[in-house]
Amino acid sequence: MKLEPSTPQKKPVFLLIAAGGFLILAILILTLRNKGGFSVDGKVTSAKRVNFLVHIISDSDKYLFSFYSELYPTEKKAALFFINPLTAFEDDDTTLEEKGKKAPDVLESALEDIFDHSIQYKITLSESNFKHIVDLLGGLELFFEPKSVRFTDKYNRKDRIYNLDGEDCFDVLSHLQDKKALSYIQRLETNESIILTLLEAIYVKKEIITKQKIALIHEKIETNLSLKEWESLVDYFKKEKVNYGVSELPAEPVLRVKKKDEMLKAKSDTVKVAFAKFSSDLKSMYFSDGERARIEVLNGTSKNGLARYGKSLLNDKGLKVLTVDNAWEEDFKNSVILNRSGNTNYTDSISETFQGRKVYYALRKDLGLDATVVLGEDFQGTKE
């Protein structure tokens, strides 16, 4: 018996189209996730790279500063790129500070044009928001030294270490010595120090940051992060010890003749190149190379030879020490580590070397240092 070949049944066209559509969608989602530009499961940190733009504004709508950040979750690194309120972009002679509550939108548009990509997540913290967050964390511990600005309109802080509540912390963050460009630059370093201290506090005080507190903050702040995305972001910073790098959006001082003041003029090409180099350095071995570290060790006691021994301990760990000297005072009872550049990798290593002594963020770019170590104890005999 001769069998006729069977004719294959044709699948309905709409099923083929649907299957093709699902395939394209799956490829698109995978591509976007790999590029760090999309969160399917609501977990912001599931991407390879996530970017944010954060603004701080007073309750009277005065613009204080912003920072653009790129977080690399798998590498546990984050680039923080701070923007001075005196900044004005090309073809615009109005500073961000003068734009007031419009500044966040202006800055967002300018950065998206410069970086040629959209900013994924935006967060605006009002003065009240900021104070509330600091209070929920139990305050922020800051270090004050003679060469830093210690005076504000409210307080003359004579001691070295203060645990500041939200009100006092915002007093430090917003205080401006005068309206000169140098004062704005110095205040931005204070802002950088406070933001790093806040991020560190989230990791150190993770036990008190409950899901209820996280939801309460999300309810109050202005952001395009969903509650689930916000929770995943905060949970990431609670769980992971992130290495931070800090830089500033480059801008040249320009005299405004009519207003008899200065602004900082930013050029798009310069900004783009500067951030590309900064983020590249952060992700490279350069960022953690101890031979490139710039550290000073100061003796905060009357005991001779303490700083030299401290240098020896750091050298044994592969960390380069530029200078040893006496501290500005010799009554330190405990050793302190001051982060000067925003590179947290170095100060974390220094802390480990000196048996976990506390790191304070007191950024001073003019010193040309990554860290100042003030020894208040004798560590001789601690070498392994």
Q: Give 330-378 pLDDT, tens digit per residue.
A: 999 999 999 999 999 999 999 999 999 999 999 999 999 999 999 999 8
Highest mean pLDDT among 16-30, 34-48, 279-293 belongs to 279-293
Q: In terms of domains, do 181 and 313 share one? A: no
Q: Which of 249, 283, 317 is the last residue of a domain?
A: 283
Q: In terms of domains, do 243 and 298 share one? A: no
Residue 147 belongs to some domain of the structure: yes
pLDDT of residue 151: 64
Q: Which of 226, 254, 283 is the last residue of a domain?
A: 283
pLDDT tens digit sequence for 111-162: 999 999 999 999 999 999 999 999 999 999 999 987 665 567 777 777 789 9
pLDDT of residue 381: 61
pLDDT band at 288 (very low <50, low <70, confident <90, very high): confident
pLDDT tens digit sequence for 205-235: 999 999 999 999 999 999 999 999 999 999 9
- Tell me: pLDDT of 30 over 90: no
Q: In terms of domains, do 100 and 191 share one? A: yes
3-class secondary structure, 154: coil
Q: In terms of domains, do 108 and 252 share one? A: yes
Residue 16 belongs to some domain of the structure: no
Number of domains into which the chain is organized: 2
Q: In terms of domains, do 122 and 147 share one? A: yes
pLDDT tens digit sequence for 161-187: 999 999 999 999 999 989 999 999 999
Q: Which of 237, 253, 283 is the last residue of a domain?
A: 283
- Tell me: pLDDT of 37 over 80: no
Beta bridge partner(s), residue 201 = none
How far apart, in Å, are the Cα atoms of 367 and each of 55, 250, 297, 318, 341?
Answer: 27, 18, 13, 22, 9
- 348: domain CATH number is 3.30.70.2390
Q: In terms of domains, do 264 and 362 share one? A: no
Percent of the chain clearing pLDDT 70 (strictly above): 86
pLDDT of residue 12: 57
304 C-beta neighbours (distance < 10 Å), count: 9
Q: In terms of domains, do 152 and 214 share one? A: yes
Which range of residues forms the domain containing residue 370? Answer: 289-375
Q: Which pTM was predicted?
A: 0.88
Q: What is the average pLDDT across 26-51?
A: 58
pLDDT of residue 384: 53
Q: What is the average pLDDT across 50-75?
A: 97
Q: In terms of domains, do 217 and 335 share one? A: no
Phi-psi region at 175: left, alpha or beta (left = phi > 0; alpha = psi -120 to 50): beta
Q: In terms of domains, do 182 and 314 share one? A: no
pLDDT tens digit sequence for 188-206: 999 999 999 999 999 999 9
- 53: domain CATH number is 3.40.630.190
Beta bridge partner(s), residue 222 = 124
Residue 358 belongs to some domain of the structure: yes
